[in-house]
Amino acid sequence: MAAKGETEQNQNLRHQEVGHKSLLQSDALYQYILETSVYPREPESMKELREVTAKHPWNIMTTSADEGQFLNMLLKLINAKNTMEIGVYTGYSLLATALAIPDDGKILAMDINRENFEIGLPIIEKAGLAHKIDFREGPALPALDQMIEDGKYHGTFDFIFVDADKDNYLNYHKRLIELVKVGGLIGYDNTLWNGSVVAPPDAPMRKYVRYYRDFVLELNKALAADPRIEICMLPVGDGITLCRRVS
């Protein structure tokens, strides 16, 4: 929202700064989406987890409520059962997934930080969903290598959500393309990276946005050129690219 008394010119300038949270033209439009169709339909457990996460110092990392709603709907549409998530944080997207998959569905969830996962875990337990989650603490890349070496995970995942270290996304893609089933989906989060993907190099940008920007640009090019997948880039949240494995 525009601060009280802020001039239109200042407001426009503020929206040009890279790092603006919403990719939409105005905060008011984003707020409209949240208040009209997201918050009124958000399950109690997701609301509770969102509110607990809001008090955490790194809350900027959480998946937005509109993206959580989108993931939940998408997983139901594709009847996902066997899923993976790389980058859990306090578990908002994890909970959106756990709510969408059937009772015997599974989520292999990986994160280097167990402490943050444990912030959301009691809420997931209270919702009766913890049995669907196999949380593994540690860096995802060696874990994926191990799965590939094991052989038994090839082509077994219906859906994989990647929301972790952007400088590894291409490394993840090389492995995940073997683990997702033909016809299954991989979702890469933050592919519009705060809008920085179209910013001039000298634009004002937070340090971490600038650091990861080139990796995101490289990923987007590589996904667009990969004949093993069909892709669809959506301006939901910070941008999500869905990749459907076709071969």
Binding site for ligand SAM (CB under 6 A): 61-63, 86-90, 92-93, 110-113, 116, 139-140, 163-165, 168
**CA 207 to chain CA centroid, nearest Å:** 21
Distance CA(203)–CA(31), nearest Å, equals: 26
Q: How far is CA 138 from CA 115, 141, 166, in A?
A: 12, 9, 16
Distance CA(46)–CA(12), nearest Å, equals: 33
Distance CA(173)–CA(84), nearest Å, equals: 13
Question: By C-beta, is 50 or 245 nearer to ligand SAM?
Answer: 50
Question: By C-beta, is 87 or 105 nearer to ligand SAM?
Answer: 87
H or E segment and range at residue 184: strand 180-189
Question: By C-beta, is 87 or 184 nearer to ligand SAM?
Answer: 87
Question: By C-beta, is 17 or 137 nearer to ligand SAM?
Answer: 137
Smallest distance, Å, CB 180 to ligand SAM? 17
Question: By C-beta, is 74 or 86 nearer to ligand SAM?
Answer: 86
Q: 13: Cβ–Cβ under 8 A, 6 or more apart, which residues? A: none
Give the burial class of 182: count Cβ atoms within 10 A of its Cβ; 0-12 exposed, 13-18 middle, 19 or more buried: exposed
